[in-house]
Amino acid sequence: MKRIAFFLLSYLCCFCMMTNAQEASDRFRQINREFLDPASPRVLIAAHRGAHLDAPENSLEAFRQTIDMGIDIIELDVRCTKDGQLVVIHDRTVDRTTNGKGAVDSLTFDEIRKLKLTFRGRQTDQQIPTLKEALMLAKGKILVDLDIKAVSCIDKIMKAVKETGTETSCFFFVTKIEQVKLLKEYDAGFRTLLRTNSGKDAQAALATIRSEAIHIDTSHNTKAVTDLIKRSGSRVWINALGAVDEKAAGGQVEAFEEVLNEGANIIQTDQPALLKQYLEKTKRRQ
């Protein structure tokens, strides 16, 4: 009987794992379709530095929790160590987010890996991830926005994406048309998010290149601009970071309309769970 019970339990565990894997795969395919369809009414959510309200920012745990929350995109930051290794960290130095001190590009990879990430002032057992670790965690589960903090390492970043086979799991956040061209020339399948600073800037960029998403600011968050971007075949990205997120966290969730009301359809936020609830309530995540 014990042997039968063991086999039944093993079978159920395997069945649950296969079901969960299939659900994750199906959800990722949907996210990918939606990302490439600017006409879709579904608004996508990007979690700024992962689910950093519940785990250290830019940590593998924050990324796991983002996936578990059913969010569409992880935003993460990429830098190079002194010896040219790619790591995921926002700041120029390790001072704020780890138990160490020093500039990322003045520390070797081995020195970086000895540090521990902190969370709410306390040391954790988590390390600064490598880019490859983050990409492999996300692969086939969630999209990744690569915020390139060390532009001089862009060649290494492109190679890391190719080596991990994550071309359809990520896109590159860049600030110049030339960078979009560089990425597309390296691999036509690479996806990009181009930052623009005005409506005229967006119009000029779209006349020159093809970017899967265009980053706008509140300065040019107008229906004319968002319509232009969508007609050109791109998604419209805008940030709720700062005042909008703060209002939402304080109970004014309708503040999200400040970035939604002109047609933006990717929202980056520090409050992914709140935004998800609001979008579902207002039927923007059907």
Asked if residue 194 belongs to a domain, the reply is: yes
> How many percent of the chain have pLDDT more than 90?
89
Indicate which residue of 52, 90, 215, 220 is catalytic. 90
**Cα–Cα dist 197/112, whole Å:** 35
pLDDT of 26 > 60? The answer is: yes
Residue 117: the pLDDT is 98
Asked if residue 18 belongs to a domain, the reply is: no
pLDDT-derived band of residue 11, with 50, 70 and 90 as boundaries? Answer: low
pLDDT of 128 > 70? The answer is: yes
pLDDT-derived band of residue 224, with 50, 70 and 90 as boundaries? Answer: very high
Asked if residue 105 belongs to a domain, the reply is: yes
Residue 285: the pLDDT is 81
Residue 3: the pLDDT is 64
**90 is annotated as an active-site residue:** yes
Counted domains in the chain: 1
**Cα–Cα dist 71/31, whole Å:** 9
pLDDT-derived band of residue 6, with 50, 70 and 90 as boundaries? Answer: low
pLDDT of 2 > 70? The answer is: no
Residue 140: the pLDDT is 96
CB 134 within 8 A of CB 60: yes
In sequence order, the 6+-apart residues with CB closer than 8 A to the CB of 218 are 238, 258, 259
Token pair 């042997």 in the structure block, residue: 3
Beta-sheet pairing, 122-123 with 118-119:
antiparallel
Q: What are phi and psi of 247, to 5 degrees?
A: -65, -45
Q: Which domain holds residue 261?
A: 43-281
How many other C-beta atoms are found inside a 10 Å radius of the C-beta of residue 111? Answer: 15
Amino acid type, 58: N
Asked if residue 16 belongs to a domain, the reply is: no
pLDDT tens readout for residues 36-78: 999 999 999 999 999 999 999 999 999 999 999 999 999 999 9
Asked if residue 81 belongs to a domain, the reply is: yes
Asked if residue 10 belongs to a domain, the reply is: no
pLDDT tens readout for residues 87-117: 999 999 999 999 999 999 999 999 999 999 9
Residue 25: the pLDDT is 81
Asked if residue 156 belongs to a domain, the reply is: yes
Residue 80 sits in a domain whose CATH number is: 3.20.20.190
**Cα–Cα dist 24/210, whole Å:** 29
Indicate which residue of 48, 52, 215, 220 is catalytic. 48
pLDDT-derived band of residue 188, with 50, 70 and 90 as boundaries? Answer: very high
**52 is annotated as an active-site residue:** no
What is the SS3 assignment for 219-285? HHCCHHHHHHHHHCCCEEEEECCCHHHHHHHCCCHHHHHHHHCCCCCEEEECCHHHHHHHHHHCCCC
CB 115 within 8 A of CB 128: yes
Asked if residue 24 belongs to a domain, the reply is: no
Half-sphere exposure of 156 (CA within 13 A, CB side): 18
In sequence order, the 6+-apart residues with CB closer than 8 A to the CB of 147 are 75, 76, 77, 78, 90, 173
Helix (H, G, I), strand (E, B) or coil at 51: coil
CB 133 within 8 A of CB 60: yes
